[in-house]
């Protein structure tokens, strides 16, 4: 048995096509989980830091007092990582700044005279505060910290707070690599908390954890559901970040070894991951499957299990008649991560045909891992088909737009009949009077 579940698109029935495109949010919206998270949120709202500490004790096995929720300056300043990792973090931060500064340079306020005497436009500026969530538990995620924090800083958010669960089995210690990122970026409001309780604490504010207006960051279904639930309390979040996923569109020119290696990047995250190869070449699919078999055998057992699930029952290989069909499937899937590995002559047309993807990586010198860690494009991206309606976390995530308008007497006189007609129809006499009283 190979690793890759291979199917021919033209031979698949509707049920099979729906199955490979579906990445549900069932775990996030499990009724029992929703009830549990709702109770936790209410507890944090009522009891503040005491509830946060209780959640740490109950879910993370960490027993600390409220005075120790905040990571101390000494912990931040003394966090040690090796030189290679420190250099990699600096490299990644530089790329992220470059990407987001370029984006911000193209995100400017504007004004235009749309008719004589009427000028409209927008004023664009940062939100007042942001809360960032860095997951912990399965692995160390300093990359998530800088992927969230750098865009917020480039946007100019004046107040940034970060919450991160402590490393399991350490009695409350926070990943030193995460702390090193915070130190490098000058972020000092860092708190060791259980994930869902931390989301609630950021939303409400507690005795020691400041309230923010927008919370972003990937996590478990419980963390994601906590973000969804906190929107009922006036906090904004960006998207539902479910299990990771990727799609590779490849033709006969793709190198099977590299293709297999790139498919495994997202596949190794977990058994709920979905990874799909869409190819015009049955020979490539077979060669990639052989490579996958070899490469998966070299992985630790837990990663190998995740890869077999992601590329088997959760995803697989889809053979299509042409690249046009490949892009149609990719758009229907709306993947978090998309790589295009086709002949140079076809790259432009394939990229032009892609309408829905969190990111598009072109060529086999642009692997998912490079984008996840260093390239500078956003790596916190919409999953589960949300790439059809939302984007990754960038500086624009932390910006808001305010409309600005100015009319002179001539422009107002020209618009007045339309204003009063609409006000009269909708039954708002004061709206109309504001026009008629001006004469």
Q: Which residues contact 250 (CB under 8 A, 6 or more apart)?
A: 259, 277, 278, 279, 280, 281, 284, 288, 341, 342
Could you tell me which residues come within 8 angstroms of residue 414 by beta carbon, excluding any fewer than 6 positions away? 115, 117
Reply yes or no on whether 336 is catalytic. yes
129: closest CA among 105, 161, 90? Answer: 161
Burial 25-55 (b: 16+ CB within 10 A, else e): beebeeeebbeebeebbebbbeebbebbbbb
* 355 within 8 A of 331, measured Cβ to Cβ: yes
Two structure tokens written together for 349: 């047309």
Per residue, the 3-state secondary structure of 248-267, as one string, reads EEECCCCCHHHHHHHHHHHH
Distance separating alpha carbons of residues 37 and 32, to the nearest angstrom: 9
> Quick one: which of 214, 195, 194, 198 has its CA closest to 206?
198
Catalytic site residue from 229, 266, 337, 359: 337
Query: Which of 215, 182, 220, 210 minimizes the C-alpha distance to 199?
Result: 215
One DSSP character per residue, 156-205 reads T-SEEEEEEPPPTTTTSPPPHHHHHHHHHHT---EEE--HHHHHHHHHH-
Contacts of 426 (CB under 8 A, 6+ apart): none
End-to-end distance of the chain based on CA atoms, in angstroms? 83
State the helix-helix crossing angle for 282-297 and 256-267, rounded to 10 degrees: 60
- Give the span between the Cα atoms of 39 and 58, in whole angstroms: 14
HSE-CB at 339 with a 13 A cutoff on CA atoms is 29
Q: Which of 229, 245, 291, 336 is catalytic?
A: 336
Separation of alpha carbons 261 and 256, rounded Å: 8
| Phi, psi (deg, nearest 5) at residue 169 | 80, 10
Active-site positions read 336-337
């Amino acid at each position: 048995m190979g690793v890759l579940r291979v199917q021919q698109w033209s031979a698949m029935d509707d049920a099979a096509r729906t199955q490979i495109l579906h990445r549900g949010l069932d775990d996030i919206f499990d009724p029992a989980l929703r009830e549990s998270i709702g109770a936790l949120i209410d507890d944090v709202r009522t009891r503040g830091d005491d509830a946060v500490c209780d959640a740490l004790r109950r879910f993370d096995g960490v027993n600390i007092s409220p005075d120790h929720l905040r990571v101390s300056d000494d912990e931040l300043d003394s966090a040690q990582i090796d030189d290679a990792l420190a250099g990699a973090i600096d490299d990644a931060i530089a790329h992220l700044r470059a990407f987001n500064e370029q984006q911000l340079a193209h995100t400017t306020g504007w004004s235009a005279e749309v008719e004589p005497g009427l000028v409209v436009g927008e004023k664009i500026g940062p939100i007042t505060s942001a809360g960032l969530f860095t997951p912990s538990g399965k692995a160390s995620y300093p990359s998530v910290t800088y992927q969230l924090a750098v865009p917020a800083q480039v946007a100019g958010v004046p107040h940034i707070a970060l919450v991160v669960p402590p490393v399991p089995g350490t009695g409350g210690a926070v990943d030193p690599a995460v702390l090193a990122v915070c130190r490098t970026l000058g972020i000092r409001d860092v708190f060791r908390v259980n994930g869902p309780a931390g989301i609630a604490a950021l939303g409400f504010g507690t005795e020691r954890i400041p309230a923010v207006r927008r919370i972003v960051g990937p996590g478990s279904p419980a963390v994601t559901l906590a973000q969804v639930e906190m929107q009922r309390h006036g906090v904004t979040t960006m998207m539902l970040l479910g299990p990771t996923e990727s799609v590779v569109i490849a033709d006969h020119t793709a190198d099977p070894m590299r293709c297999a290696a790139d498919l495994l990047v997202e596949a190794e995250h977990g058994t709920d991951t979905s990874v799909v190869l869409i190819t015009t070449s049955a020979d490539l699919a077979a060669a990639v499957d052989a490579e996958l078999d070899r490469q998966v055998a070299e992985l630790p057992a837990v990663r190998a299990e995740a890869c077999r699930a992601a590329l088997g029952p959760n995803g697989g290989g889809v053979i299509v008649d042409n690249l046009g069909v490949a892009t149609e499937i990719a758009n229907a899937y709306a993947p978090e991560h998309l790589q295009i590995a086709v002949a140079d002559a076809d790259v432009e047309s394939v990229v032009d045909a892609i309408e829905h993807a969190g990111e598009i990586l072109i060529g086999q010198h642009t692997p998912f891992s490079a984008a996840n860690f260093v390239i500078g494009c956003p790596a916190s991206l919409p999953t589960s088909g949300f790439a059809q309606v939302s984007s990754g976390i960038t500086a624009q995530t932390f910006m808001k737009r305010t409309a600005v308008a100015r009319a002179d007497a001539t422009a107002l006189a020209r618009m007045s009949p339309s204003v009063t007609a609409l006000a009269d129809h909708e039954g708002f006499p004061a709206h109309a009077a504001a026009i008629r009283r001006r004469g």
